[in-house]
Amino acid sequence: MAMLEVKNLSVSYGAIEAVKDVSFEVNEGEVVTLIGANGAGKTSILRTISGLVRPSSGSISYLGNEIQKVPARKIVADGLAQVPEGRHVFPGLTVMENLEMGAFLNKNKEENKANLKKIFARFPRLEERKNQDAATLSGGEQQMLAMGRALMSKPKLLLLDEPSMGLAPIFIQEIFDIVQDIQKQGTTVLLIEQNANKALSIADRGYVLETGKIVLSGTGQELLASEEVRKAYLGG
């Protein structure tokens, strides 16, 4: 059984249909990527899975239960967390306070303390800057903080929305290395990316979105080798 199963999902904003009858699945332990141009519907899909947007039709099953009508708070509590596009750290709060916000649903202080230790081991720069205002971090450091904050909730499934957007090349490689490490540590990942080459190179499987519809799917390597994908997204 798939950890996440999206069936015939459509999402509309007024008269604009952003997502059109999309179906895909994510199995436990995978990195699955959705690639496509701006406006293809990628972020709308993630926001709908997270409970921030209600679909106009279709279903979303997570761990065997339909969640398309479940409040976002309960979805997070059930082990599904999203790192939003643009990072959205909390300015005016320190790095430590931002991380603590990620664990607000878990009242077990010892468990949160142990998880924080793991986050600092994975992101040592965050520990170095734990008392610094999050807004003063570099773009790459803010992305690490947003990922660390989501991981503080100990998610079973992590949704990443454009984690490499606006980052310097050295940070881009580091972010994708971290995604692979997160997978190795047992967290399933659904990744949205415009950097198709990087995303497909680490993905077990991928789906290509165009104007709200899935037009291609396959393993990461199959899509990397696809002439259609190379011409449209890889500059081939």
Residue extents of the structural domains in the chain: 4-90+155-233
179 with 31: CB under 8 angstroms? yes
pLDDT tens-place values along the chain, 236 residues long? 799 999 999 999 999 999 999 999 999 999 999 999 888 999 999 999 999 999 999 999 999 999 999 999 999 999 999 998 877 899 999 999 999 999 988 888 899 999 999 999 999 999 999 999 999 999 999 999 999 999 999 999 999 999 998 888 888 998 999 999 999 999 999 999 888 999 999 999 999 999 999 999 999 999 999 988 888 777 65
Token pair recorded at residue 103: 């664990």
Q: Out of 1.25.40.10, 3.40.50.300, 3.40.50.11540, 1.10.390.10, which CATH number does the structure's domain 4-90+155-233 have?
A: 3.40.50.300
Q: Could you tell me if residue 47 is left (phi over 0), alpha (psi between -120 and 50 degrees) or otherwise beta?
A: alpha
pTM: 0.92
